Every structure is written in structure tokens, then in C-alpha cells.
Amino acid sequence: MKKIILSAAILILILTATFNSVNAASAQAEERVIVLFKDKVDKELIANNGGKINRELRNLPAISISVPSVALQGLSRNPNIELIEKDSIVKVEGQVSDWGIDDVKAPVAWSSGYTGTGVKIAVVDTGISLSHSDLSVAGGASFVAYTNSYNDDNGHGTHVSGIIGARNNDIGTIGVAPDSDLYAVKVLDSSGSGYLSDVIAGIDWAISNQMDIINLSLGSSTDSPTLHQAVDKAYNNGTLVVAAAGNSGLINGNGDTVEYPAKYDSAIAVAAVDSSNNRASFSSTGPKVEVSAPGVSIYSTYLNNSYTRMSGTSMATPYTTGILALLKQQNPALTNIELRDKLDQYVVDLGAAGRDTLTGYGLIQAQAQPVESIKTVMSVTTDKDSYLKGETVTVEATVKDSNLNALNGATVNLTITSPSGSQTNAVQTTDSSGAVVFNIATNKKTKTGTYKINVQSSLSGYSSSNATTQYRIE
């Protein structure tokens, strides 16, 4: 079978810049270590040895513990433990924004409360460093043959992820959408290359896991019908696909050098500009270039809890992904097609009027426009009209939008007013069917009479709504 290698779009130009990163380990009065288990974490074993759990990991059978030093030797001999290592202290300098953050006006959206909250982004790349203090990985998968881990062993995916969503935590740097949910989809190996089939599998995973945006900072000069189908499938399922235009551009900007998958209509092809908003000399050109974003000497997260500067359309792509995450939070009811239209509208035109082959429609820009609240519809029912003392009252409430689509993640506040006027309150969050269920216990002391129920919903981007009903206790 022919092996088609996809190389991360960063390969054409990588700039090395000096930066300060301080790694320091401080001696602890109490031993703080990381315990990696061969299979499952054994919390009872740790407790029996006087250990206290500091942190649990979602994706690894490992925990950070504080434990008396005398217990370490015995723990290290336990057949269920793979290894024990020191939980070192790592420090970096204070938070620094990359020049591109201001260039795309991300702080304008932040000031209005838009930070990408709730937007799921699949970074289809070399993985993401799971131990980086400035990144939070919500989940992921690996499709390379040599590891099941989606931890980054190259650095490219970590750099891309920091541009999208490095946390606003007073260290390192900050991403365009610092509260977005990053998912590491590892399809490229430690050298930044991978099989085409692995990339397709990564896109397929993103579709199955209902990602809002797929970031593809990678490319190939070879077209693939299967890759084309995968990108089309994602887009037709409502996912935004953002891809690097490529680093194969000529200095004079002539020719059609846009790579795949950016060249597909279902993908947003992103070109790179420098800090003066001039097209980067390496940035691929052609009629498929849709927008442009910062892509020269971009400061972001890297391996070993560090930071570095890189250049390429690989860097411009996550800037665009981040802006789309802000737009998605601002406009939760819009389709991916409508969000793409907004992205193309909110630009600074850099070249010839309108769309051109060098920078597309222009430089992407964040917006601070208020969200137009979408109307919601609530309903509430009880399983019976009347109850005997000692029976359980089951209350079900549903929340839907104006098109009667179920709303997942809406907060529902329940208030029950008794015959005497006293109130009982409860709060739950709707599931994927837009429903919540409250079970209210009664006993022989419960007063007889009519109980009034009021439920009220709230969800960002949607108007509040309420519904009422009542039941009797006989």
C-alpha cells in the first residue's frame, strides 16, 4: 500500500527565538511523588502507606501523592506499580500575550465575556502535551501505530493548541479562546509526519465525538478522495474544518500552491501574515485561500512545560480556529455555514478589494457584538395529579429552543410552594434530550393540600423561560 506522508505545515519556516523559561525543583519537607500504575490506580494501597492523593489523571493510571519517605521503598517493590518519580516543581515567567492576539482583536471579545466556553475543538496533529501547566486537555485519541497516548512527542500540536486555548492563568501565554475545550487527536508521529489513513481516522473520531471545530495544521500536495470525503462528512455534519493553506508559496505570490485538505470547499484555507499584516513569504497562494491570520514568529506553548516561537500557516490556522470558537459561543444557534460566513465578514481587507489569492477575504477579527438571545420553551409535568403521604413526587421538566430542538446543558431551577407558603428549591442541568427529573420525597408529616411548582431555565445565548403546574397531597 502506498504510504502518503503528511507533514505539519510548519516545516517550511521555523524561527528560533530566545525566551526565558525557568524550571526549578524545590526540596519538599514531605516527599511528593508521581506513582504510575501498570493497570488501575490503587488508592487503598496509597492510603495504607500513609499517602495523601494530590492529583488524579484522567487519561493515565497515575496519581500525584505526598507520602512519608520511609514508605517509598516498599511502594517501589509493589508488582502493580510501574514506577515512582519525583513530582518536581516547574515554574515559568509571567503571562505574555503573543502579538497576534491583539492583531486579531481577541481581547475585544474577552471584554464582552466571550472566551470560547463550551466549544469542543479537535486538534488533529502530533498530540498535546498533557503535562503543560498552560494547557488543559479535555480528552482525545491516538491513531499512530506506536502509542495509544495522545501526549505530544513532537511539539507542533502543543504549539498549535496554545494558540487556540492556552489558559488565562497568569503564566506563560494566553490563547485566542482560553476557555475552549481542547481534544488531542494524535495522527502525526514524533517527526511531524503520518499516514494519510491516520489523519482520516482522526477526522472520523472528531465526527463521532461531535466536535464543533477541527483544526488541521497539516497538509499534502497530493489529493485524496477518501480524505475529501472525510472532510466533507465533517462539514455536512455541522463541524467547522479549518486547514493550513500550506507553506509552499512563492515569494512573488504567483501560482496556485494551496495544499490538501485546505483546497477542499468544505475546509477553510488559512494563509499567514506577519506582524505588519504583510503576507508571509512562505504562505501558499491560490483561489481557495479564504482568510489570513498571524503566522510569523508566534509565541506559544511547547514541550517540557516550555514556550517557543514558530512560523507557518500551521500557526495561522489555530488563530482562525480560536476566532471561530469565540463566534460559536457568541452565536450558539448559528450553523457552521453561518459561522463561516461571519468569519469571512469580520475581516480587515489586506489586499485587492474583496477576496484575493494572497490573503483571501482578509485578516480575521474577533467581535464584541452582543448575543441575540434565542427564545426557549419549557414544559413541566408530574407523574400523577395527587399523592398519598409517603409517596414520591416525580417532576419532569424539558427545555427546547424555538424550533423545539432539545437544549443540553441548560440550568433548571425548581421551586415548590407548599400550602402554607414555604418553599423548597432544587437545581439540575438538562441532559441531551433537554430533560431533567426531580424526585420529591413525602412522609407522614407532609402537609395535605395543593403544592405549586415553578421551573425556570437559563442557558448562555438563550432567553430564560418558565413553566408551572401543581399537585395535591391527600
Digit-coded pLDDT (tens) for 297-349? 999 999 999 999 999 999 999 999 999 999 999 999 899 999 999 999 889 99
Q: What is the mean pLDDT of residues 40-57?
A: 88
* Strand order across the 62-67 sheet: 52-56, 62-67, 31-37, 81-86
> Last residue of some domain: 338, 364, 390?
364
Q: Which of 157-161, 206-210, 401-405 is least confident?
A: 401-405
What was the pLDDT predicted at 316? 96
> Last residue of some domain: 364, 396, 429?
364
Between CA 387 and CA 372 the distance in angstroms is: 42
Distances (CA, A) of 472 to 4, 278, 418, 425, 446: 70, 72, 10, 18, 11
What was the pLDDT predicted at 375? 83
What's the mean pLDDT when you consider all of the chain? Answer: 87
Any idea what the CATH number is for the domain that residue 295 is in?
A: 3.40.50.200
Between CA 328 and CA 119 the distance in angstroms is: 7
Which amino acid type is present at position 424?
T
Question: Is 370 a domain residue?
Answer: no
Between CA 326 and CA 239 the distance in angstroms is: 15
What was the pLDDT predicted at 62? 79
Query: What is the reported pTM?
Result: 0.62
Residue 443: CB atoms within 10 Å: 8
- 232 catalytic? Reply is no
* Strand order across the 181-186 sheet: 137-142, 181-186, 120-125, 213-216, 240-244, 268-273, 289-294, 363-364, 347-348
Q: What is the mean pLDDT of residues 203-218?
A: 95
Instruction: Determine the structural domain holding residue 454 and report its residue range.
Output: 376-473
Residues 260 and 208 in one domain: yes
Summarised one tens digit per residue, pLDDT across range 258-271 is: 999 999 999 999 99
Query: For residue 294, how many C-alpha atoms fall within 13 Å in the half-sphere facing its CB?
Result: 27
What was the pLDDT predicted at 272? 96
Q: What is the mean pLDDT of residues 28-33?
A: 67
Residues 6 or more apart in contact with residue 321 via CB below 8 angstroms: 121, 164, 176, 177, 213, 215, 240, 242
Between CA 381 and CA 111 the distance in angstroms is: 40
Residues 6 or more apart in contact with residue 29 via CB below 8 angstroms: none
For residues 438 and 17, the model is more confident at 438
**Residue in the structure block whose three cell numbers are 440550568:** 411
Residues 197 and 337 in one domain: yes
Residues 331 and 452 in one domain: no
- 283 catalytic? Reply is no
Question: Is 24 a domain residue?
Answer: no
Angle at which helices 336-345 and 313-330 cross, to 10°? 110
- 58 pLDDT more than 90: no
- Grade residue 105 by pLDDT with cuts at 50, 70 and 90: confident
Residues 81 and 190 in one domain: no
What was the pLDDT predicted at 57? 63
Q: Which of 77-91, 409-423, 439-453 is least confident?
A: 77-91
- Grade residue 426 by pLDDT with cuts at 50, 70 and 90: very high
Give how many domains the chain has, as a whole number.
3
Any idea what the CATH number is for the domain that residue 446 is in?
A: 2.60.40.1930
- 132 catalytic? Reply is no
Identify the three-state secondary structure at position 49: coil
Catalytic one of 7, 314, 457, 465: 314
Report percent pLDDT > 90 for the chain: 68
Summarised one tens digit per residue, pLDDT across range 241-297 is: 999 999 999 999 999 999 999 999 999 999 999 999 999 999 999 999 999 999 999
Give the range with max mean pLDDT: 14-28, 59-73, 168-182: 168-182
Give the three cell numbers for residue 91. 515554574
Residues 233 and 336 in one domain: yes
Give the three cell numbers for residue 250. 512563492
Question: Is 25 a domain residue?
Answer: no
